[in-house]
Structure 1
């Protein structure tokens, strides 16, 4: 009886699939770059607001500053951790099934720490400025941080009530999180993903700035509130609740309607994930496999998944099983592809099988 894995024809050997666990960044490295990226985001955005003003005539607009800082962080560190730098983004990613909940918790802790350290550096710089230290108490670092803290009602730049602040923060965060989830899919243009995410962030920050001072990031809000006056801490709850609600909308919609990537020929593979990160599970998408088939190379590598093929059979596709194994030890997921019909088998193929017909 002919084995279903037998590839017939005198010049066509059997394709054998080997799954290899590629090295990934450890949790310590991921948390470190999440903290560093959050530091960069807060240091750049709030620093521009403090020292360059919010208007374009006085320097770089605050929204553009936040967007540029995010783009830089994604390019530099996104491939290590996924480039969240924002508790709302991590929450949306968890709801979308991209990262585990325990990892989300650690990400949030690292992001808040990085943001607080950035605000502390700015606070220290303000304390040694002559305009502050020599003002006789009229101008203090806390009053300056009031202009950076998020607020509503009388503490809103436009005295917007709570309902308006809630609405703009929920909608703004939902838009930003949706762009992040979409731009970091396996099938998205990964070269442009940091730019798209950064521009979306700059846009929503610019819109929300005159209403709430633009949170869209609970870590940024927490950092500013710590060094501002007491009212900022009292209103901080809204700037956790609203961004997380917006992130929940984006994450749940993405989970409900997102399609992910097929491995090949309609087969279902592992879940799609951040295009930036090495630590998360990603599909072997058609473009990567097709490129390998075209140039006859014998390996398809995609972050934590490695698929080996035989150059001699690249013209006929993938006879036999096609497997993708997660590097974190989760169960294998395989999708069989129908064998390609060939002439009667020859003894050349027997070298690849044992006496029970299994691939050696």
Structure 2
């Protein structure tokens, strides 16, 4: 296993998680006015775009266990490398959450994903499971299409970053947007309680969605 690739996945997932938490923790209460959902969506979309552009070539720029497993399902990534990638991603997300815990002024929920009382709309488990599955499938279709061998060079990070922005605009009020099990893990560990109890949803639904999206893309591109 390439340690540099694992380091890139750690750094990329650290920055992805930091982009969500920093915007979610602080932008809503900024003295000059809240950046709100749009601010959080742009923060993560831009961060993923620049990380994919700057260090994505080292590891493939997954930064997300669901993406890694989706690419395995899509025949784009070796199954034997998946577990080390996922460990690096989870450690990056946990480290980012720890940094913001140290900075302080974090909400009690640590921007954890969830349904019921952890959802802005008090959405049900079924609603959250559906939106996380569908949007992760959509994300994998975009990723596989944007990174296909004959795709125009240099545009994949833009397509992926803008897609992630759109996904967050659609689903922050429902589930606080995961589509990324590592991003869900870090905040849940620090929030504890209900967030930990609901964490399984944000592993199962994104991974299921990623596998579905990868298989759909393979069918479309045959």
Corresponding residue pairs, total: 219
Shift of 1:57: 4.9
Which protein is bigger by CA-based radius of gyration?
1
TM-score, scaled to structure 2: 0.94
Distance in 1 (alpha carbons) for counterparts of 2:108 and 2:164: 22
1:38 paired with 2:13, answer yes
Identify, as 1 or 2, the structure richer in strand: 1
The residue that corresponds to 2:118 in the other structure is 155
Q: 1:101-180 alignment to 2 at 5 Å?
A: 101-126=79-104, 141=106, 144-146=107-109, 148-180=111-143
Q: 1:1-360 alignment to 2 at 5 Å?
A: 27-53=2-28, 57-59=33-35, 61-126=39-104, 141=106, 144-146=107-109, 148-259=111-222
Gaps of 5+ in 1: 1-25, 127-131, 133-140, 260-360
Gaps of 5+ in 2: none
Distance in 2 (alpha carbons) for counterparts of 1:157 and 1:147: 14
TM-score, scaled to structure 1: 0.58
Task: Say if 1:96 and 1:255, in contact at 8 Å, map to a contact too.
Answer: yes
**Of the two structures, which has the highest relative contact order with CA contacts closer than 8 Å and spacing of 6 or more?**
2
CA RMSD of aligned residues (A): 1.8
Runs (4+) of structure 1 exceeding 3 A deviation are 54-57
Task: Say if 2:113 and 2:195, in contact at 8 Å, map to a contact too.
Answer: yes
Task: Say if 1:145 and 1:224, in contact at 8 Å, map to a contact too.
Answer: no
Shift of 1:189: 1.7
